[in-house]
Structure 1
Amino acid sequence: MPDRALSTPLDDSFERYLQDKGKGRGGDGGNYRRNAARELERFAEWTAGDRGDDDWTGIVPDDVNREPTFDDLDERVFREYARHLDGDRGLKQNTVQTYYRYISAWCGWCVNEGYLEAHYAQRASAMAPLPEDDGRKPGDQQAWTSEQRHALTRYVDEQARDAVEAYTTLPEETDPLDKQRARYAALKAARDRALVFVLAYTAVRVGELLRDPNDPRRRGVRWEDLSLEDGSMDVYRKKQQWDAASLPDPVISPLRSYRRLMEPPTERWPVFPTFDQRTLAGLVQDEFAERGERPDAIAERREEYARDLLLALDEDIRLPSITTDGARSILQRLSEAAEIDIDHPKHDYLAPHGGRRGMGEVLVRAFGYTVAARYLDNSEEMVRERYSHIEAGELGDVATEALEEIDSLT
């Protein structure tokens, strides 16, 4: 091991590591990079003695005045950090495991890059203080039941139908601004319906469908990504490549109706644009300013429209997709409005990932693990693990049937 590598301060390696692990051009995007950067910073503070118990002074010997370097690292350091995560920060067991994995991944990278001679973080003694798990079973995660799915899709369908009918049956003499308000209400209801149906029936991950502010490649699906005739949608998968996802029959009609109402100016428009008025106001004003319009002219133009969304459609001011957080807010609002009965320890609404898991349960029960794995874009092994409660229940039924048959013979 070169002396130069051993004498390198720990944080000198962070940026290169994050560039390698980051997503997007230049490695600047991605949730992994953001989370890893946070945990590496915390690890660096802990090694320097700036984080931890009052009597913790860091990993550098007390009689030495310098930053922590790779020469200070060994399995005892990682064992102590595992103990710190488990005991000093009040974290849940699975969170402790996750945070330690960020540091362990960096340690492995350092071995490959020549900073360390061994993957100390993965040694048994280093990992011994880590908790086993939090006891959560695969079936404990929220999955929309058939009753919940039907209740929510029925509610959004009724809301959209009523809003569209109210708009399309307005008398010709209706005030233009009132017509715009009715169209906006219909667009919002149609967007909500389309979003719910896609989440409920396609099993696409919400992060593959909508915009992620931390990953520039996840800009949300656009109309050009959809083929309603073929029943498919191109999405950027979790495995970081584009792939086609299926659009089953229940999804086609809501999407087609929504597109007809929206009339997107180009195919590059997002399927699920934000309706946030504050965001829209800023985007519209900025776009007109870039086109050379004066502030008073921009104000007059905006006054002609009941909502900036409608102005953006007419002027082809392309809007951003809603984010994954935005989808959660929408589903919270809709779950409450639909008065859906939800009994779950973590979510008091139908969370987006629950739609995917609910569809997974349907597919596993109806067609088995192999078909479900293909539809869910997962390995069969992972699907078996995540839906193991189904197989356990079915085996229980088999055992009960066997016992009843044997008992009837005695």
Structure 2
Amino acid sequence: MAPPADSPHPGETTGETSLDEPLPDFLDAKAKTIEETNLDEDETQRSGNYVQSLERVVPDWIKWMDRRGVTTFEKLDSRDLARYAGHLSRRVNARRANGGTEGITAATAWNYYSLVSAYLHYCQQWEYIAENPADTDRAKDEMPDRPTTDSGQQQFWSQQQRETIVSHVDERAHDAIDTDPQSREALTIARDRALVYVIGFSGVRGAEVLAASRDDRRTGITWADVDTDQEVLTVLGKSQKIEKAPLTDRPVRALTRWQTLLDPPDDAWPVFPSFHLASLRDTARSQLQDRGVDHQTIDEITSLGTAELVDAFREQELTPPALTTGGGRYTLKKLSQEAAVDCSDDSKAYLTLHGARRGVGEAYYDEAGFSDAQRVLRHEDPSTTSKMYAHKEASELSDVGSDIFSPEE
């Protein structure tokens, strides 16, 4: 890790240090990529979901402290963090009291606190402070109880849930394509069918195949990333490295049918494009302007409806935007409700993107064992897989123990 530009050195007298002085260096250290967007005003654009959460939460915490007269590290101690923790707890209580319309969840409170603690840990490392005041019992005792992380309470798509939603998307796709294969409805339904198959059987993360609005590197997989012959997807993994994910045979048919219907002019098109009309128009306008196309032509193209505009993307060799993870979550929620998927035993009332991934891993775990589950989920650390399926391991050990301690007949 590179030292901050103006970090104090041992024995050096620097006077009082404002709470926000190390912040730019801290954020740079946590960013995946950094781009100087305005050199005159020293503006920096950092990519990555984690750093963007830090950019939002830590400055808010600094402002909260400032309003209470704590503006420097010399004035900061664990009592101030205890007060902040109490503030978060009150916001959690407010949510519980009003039925969830205001305030924050306990998980969000702990996320905020962890982000602030990470900043203070960095400041401790670079000797702005002697210890991290957030990492004390006095402060953490004021936080709400941590939400459960029991693996058995997380959502895992069951085989029945998977087959229910797959049957639903099959039926609606066949009906829509038979009616008008080039309509906006048919395109959307066929895309959604392919999405359900891919996430339902491959074990990929949603952010590996869809666009992530807070990460410039995650723009959604393209057709160049799909190898239907080898049944493999090429994705940008959580490790930030290019990884190969097993596609399996069932999604291949849905993807092949979808590719034929979409008819992308080249492999640079996203596999799961967005058909949000405003997004399509904005993207078309931007790409046409970059080519120097005249305003009248641009206005004519961007005034088209969805299906006609998708045709224009093909004809003009434009690239449509990819569906985002937010759009993917909305799609699954809608499909779960339409298909009447039974989620009564789940933490969510609908099927989730990550629930699909866990469900794939669970199927491998049950049928092929721990090692194959780890491989399909591409966990570098076996303990990650073990934690995800701890509820199953405990159940299996219980069965073993029952056999061990059963009285001999």
Bin the TM-score by the shorter chain.
0.7 to 0.9
Q: Secondary structure at the match of 2:21?
A: helix
The alpha-carbon distance between structure 1 residues 363 and 143, as it changes in their structure 2 partners (threshold 3 A), is same
Q: Secondary structure at the match of 1:122?
A: coil
Instruction: Give the 5 Å matches for 1:36-75.
Output: 36-48=54-66, 50=67, 57-59=68-70, 68-75=71-78
* Equivalent pair of 2:206/2:325 in contact (CA under 8 Å): yes
* Equivalent pair of 1:302/1:311 in contact (CA under 8 Å): no
Q: In 2, distance between residues paired with 1:308 and 1:300?
A: 7
* Equivalent pair of 2:281/2:302 in contact (CA under 8 Å): no
* Equivalent pair of 1:18/1:36 in contact (CA under 8 Å): yes
| 1:234 shift after superposition | 1.5
Out of 157-166 and 314-323, give the one that drifted further: 157-166
Instruction: Give the 5 Å matches for 1:172-187.
Output: 180-181=182-183, 184-187=184-187
Counterpart of 1:252 in structure 2 is 252
Letter of the 1:192 counterpart: D
List per-residue Cα deviations over 1:305-350 (Å, max 9, x = no partner): 8531222122221111111010011112212222222215642221
Out of 7-16 and 390-399, give the one that drifted further: 390-399
Q: 2:53 aligns with which of 16, 21, 35?
A: 35
- The runs of 5 or more residues in structure 1 that have no matched partner are 51-56, 60-67, 168-178
* Equivalent pair of 1:6/1:70 in contact (CA under 8 Å): no
Instruction: Give the 5 Å matches for 1:246-285.
Output: 246-285=246-285
Instruction: Give the 5 Å matches for 1:3-402.
Output: 5=14, 7-26=16-35, 28-48=46-66, 50=67, 57-59=68-70, 68-87=71-90, 90=93, 91-131=104-144, 133-167=146-180, 180-181=182-183, 184-290=184-290, 291-295=292-296, 298-299=299-300, 306-344=307-345, 346-378=347-379, 379-400=381-402
- The runs of 5 or more residues in structure 2 that have no matched partner are 1-9, 36-44, 94-103
* Equivalent pair of 1:9/1:70 in contact (CA under 8 Å): yes
Q: In 2, distance between residues paired with 1:348 and 1:107?
A: 37
Q: TM-score, normalised by structure 1?
A: 0.83
The alpha-carbon distance between structure 1 residues 294 and 46, as it changes in their structure 2 partners (threshold 3 A), is closer
User: What RMSD, in angstroms, separates the aligned Cα atoms of the two structures?
Assistant: 2.7
The alignment-based identity, stated in percent, is 30
| 1:124 shift after superposition | 4.5
Q: Secondary structure at the match of 2:234?
A: strand
List per-residue Cα deviations over 1:55-87 (Å, max 9, x = no partner): xx343xxxxxxxx11222334433443344334
The alpha-carbon distance between structure 1 residues 384 and 18, as it changes in their structure 2 partners (threshold 3 A), is same
Point out the structure with max Rg over C-alpha.
1
Q: TM-score, normalised by structure 2?
A: 0.83
Q: In 2, distance between residues paired with 1:239 and 1:155?
A: 34
* Equivalent pair of 2:220/2:270 in contact (CA under 8 Å): yes
Q: Which has the higher helix share?
A: 1
Counterpart of 1:176 in structure 2 is none
The alpha-carbon distance between structure 1 residues 5 and 247, as it changes in their structure 2 partners (threshold 3 A), is farther
Q: In 2, distance between residues paired with 1:145 and 1:386?
A: 15
List per-residue Cα deviations over 1:94-135 (Å, max 9, x = no partner): 333322211111112112333223334334554444455223
Q: Secondary structure at the match of 1:10?
A: coil
Q: In 1, distance between residues paired with 2:15 and 2:211?
A: 41
The alpha-carbon distance between structure 1 residues 265 and 79, as it changes in their structure 2 partners (threshold 3 A), is same
Q: Secondary structure at the match of 2:219?
A: coil
* Equivalent pair of 1:5/1:114 in contact (CA under 8 Å): no
